[in-house]
Amino acid sequence: MLPAAEAEAKILALVSSPTEAEQVPLGDALGRILAQAISSPLDFPHWDNSAMDGYAVRYADVQGARAEAPVALALTETIPAGRSPTRPVGPGQAARILTGSMLPDGADTIVIQEVTQREGNRVLVLEAPTPKQFVRHQGSFCRAGDSLMGSGLRIGGPELAVLASAQCVEVPVFPQPRVAILSTGDELVTPETALRPGQIVDSNQYALAALVRQAGAIPVPLGIVADQPEALRAAIQSALARANVIVSSGGVSVGDYDYVDKILAELGATLHIRSVAVKPGKPLTVATIPAQRGVEPIYFGLPGNPVSALVTFWRFVVPALRKRSGLDGGWAPTFLPATTRHALKAGGQRETYLWGRLSTTPSGYEFELASGGHNSGNLINLAGTNALAIVPVGTTLIAAGEPVQVMSVG
């Protein structure tokens, strides 16, 4: 059994980052990974403009203004946002200006309207500003040709705003990984099927498809595969034709009907991992298969028990999907220091993951253990889980109130 950290490092070494890019419309780029660095085609701001409502003036005219000796300036025009000034500001003059409006020639300072008094076609300045006050100068945020963002960045709302401002209407992104999902087992049925004695609803197909989507990849659900070598071989071959990552659940332990490793070997795969020292989730197959369409597919054979399948997916598959999606680093799970509100018990032989909720308090993070039994077949108390508390190898108890390392999965 490989320790969890060693298994993660081995998996990430096996996964290649994408090199090709595709163009998507700006409106479809949310959540995608930027495939090329984006440079600014424009200065930001595009021109000198006002950061406040007030008056555009020459500093030299108003540097001595005060309430008892106001400076009177003649108004030349009003400059609404989106309109160009029509005349310069000369000595003894001012232009009414609004936030975002373009600064007229001659003006170098903004006097906010709160320290002025309007009298017909002139304005009284009652307080001296500082030089260049409230002027946003052209190019002060970014110059044309400067880098806006680098390759490997996940595009969120702020990034979309920057791209839109730069008029980047077609965005270069990496193709999303396609992940085929198989559930193995004669006992499995779909949720629509009336249960007979001994049968189990296939929840893994739905949970794993959702987690694949949350990881920024495209799930390709292929349904339930019978515990027959021929059926499994056909399903894996079908998956290889449709995806570059395959995730199956079940069939990777040492039972009489666990055929995954055998079929992979027959298909020419290299098996890199057979088990990991974690609980739940010891059986874990990780294999690479000869390249398809120029990309070497990677196969994750997860345990069949629902909690084991989810824990191993969070711990080992998500980092692989992050790397294969093109993210520039940050592939590993997020681990946070917390205080546990409940006693955390483990056998001590394997790194143990206990599920529950992580919350923020004035004193830091706190972990609340999910109520009910913590075994690999009980998925009922997984609802609401956003974190896994980790009990290290060699530790059998972390008492309530003690520090614990927690892995975020929310």
Q: Is residue 179 part of a domain?
A: yes
Answer whether residue 144 is part of any domain: no
Mean pLDDT of 246-271: 85
Predicted confidence (pLDDT) per residue in 304-337, tens digit: 999 999 999 999 999 999 999 999 999 999 999 9
pLDDT in tens, 42-51: 999 999 999 9
Quick one: 127 and 203 in the same domain?
Answer: no
Give 43's contacts (C-beta < 8 A, 6+ positions apart): 138, 139, 142, 143, 144
pTM, two decimals, is 0.89
Domain contains 213: yes
DSSP track, 125-139: E-S---TTTTEE-TT
> According to the model, what pLDDT value does residue 254 have?
60
Mean pLDDT of 47-67: 97
Both 124 and 60 in a single domain? yes
Q: Give the E-state strand segments of 106-160 in sequence order.
A: 109-112, 116-119, 122-125, 135-136, 147-149
Judgement on whether residues 130 and 264 belong to the same structural domain of the protein: no
Evaluate whether residue 204 is within a structural domain.
yes
Residue where a domain terminates, one of 301, 325, 349: 325
Average pLDDT, the chain: 95
The domain boundary, picked from 271, 291, 325, lies at: 325
pLDDT category at 253 given cuts 50, 70, 90 is: low
Pair (104, 12) in one structural domain: no
Given a cut of 60, whether residue 257 has pLDDT beyond it is no
What pLDDT does 287 receive? Answer: 96
Q: In this predicted model, what pLDDT tens digit does every residue of 165-182 receive, in sequence order?
A: 999 999 999 999 999 999
Confidence class of residue 375 from pLDDT cuts 50, 70 and 90? confident
User: What number of helices (H) and strands (E) belong to the chain?
Assistant: 8, 28
Query: Is 192 in the same domain as 306?
Result: yes
191 lies in a domain? yes
Does the pLDDT at position 251 exceed 90? Answer: no
Q: Is 181 in the same domain as 169?
A: no
β-strand partners of 286: 273, 300
Same-domain status, 189 and 298: yes
Give yes or no: residues 97 and 202 share one domain: no
Asked if the model's pLDDT at residue 252 lies above 90, the reply is: no
| 64 neighbors 192 (Cβ within 8 angstroms) | no
pLDDT value at residue 259 = 86
Q: What is the CATH number of the domain that holds 404?
A: 2.40.340.10
CATH of the domain at 190: 3.40.980.10
Residue 43 lies in a domain: no
183 and 254 co-located in one domain? yes
- Residue 84 maps to which CATH number? 2.170.190.11
Which two tokens mark 281? 């989730």
Q: Residue 87 sits in which domain range? A: 49-136
Residue carrying the six token digits 């890019």: 21
Q: Is residue 142 part of a domain?
A: no
Instruction: Examine the domain organization and report whether 226 and 355 are in the same domain.
Output: no
**Same structural domain, 195 and 287:** yes
Average pLDDT over residues 244-258: 80
Average pLDDT over residues 248-274: 85
Q: Report cis status (omega within 30 of 0) of the bond before 197.
A: no
How many structural domains does the chain have? 4
Residues 179, 234, single domain; the answer is yes
Q: What percent of the chain has pLDDT over 70?
A: 98
Q: What is the CA radius of gyration of the chain?
A: 31
Token pair listed for 94: 């001012």
pLDDT in tens, 113-151: 999 999 999 999 999 999 999 999 999 999 999 999 999
**Is the residue at 143 inside a domain?**
no
CB atoms within 10 A of CB 273: 19
Q: With beta carbons less than 8 A apart as the criterion, state whether 39 and 155 touch.
A: no
Strand boundaries in 208-322, DSSP class E = 218-225, 245-249, 270-275, 278-279, 283-288, 298-302
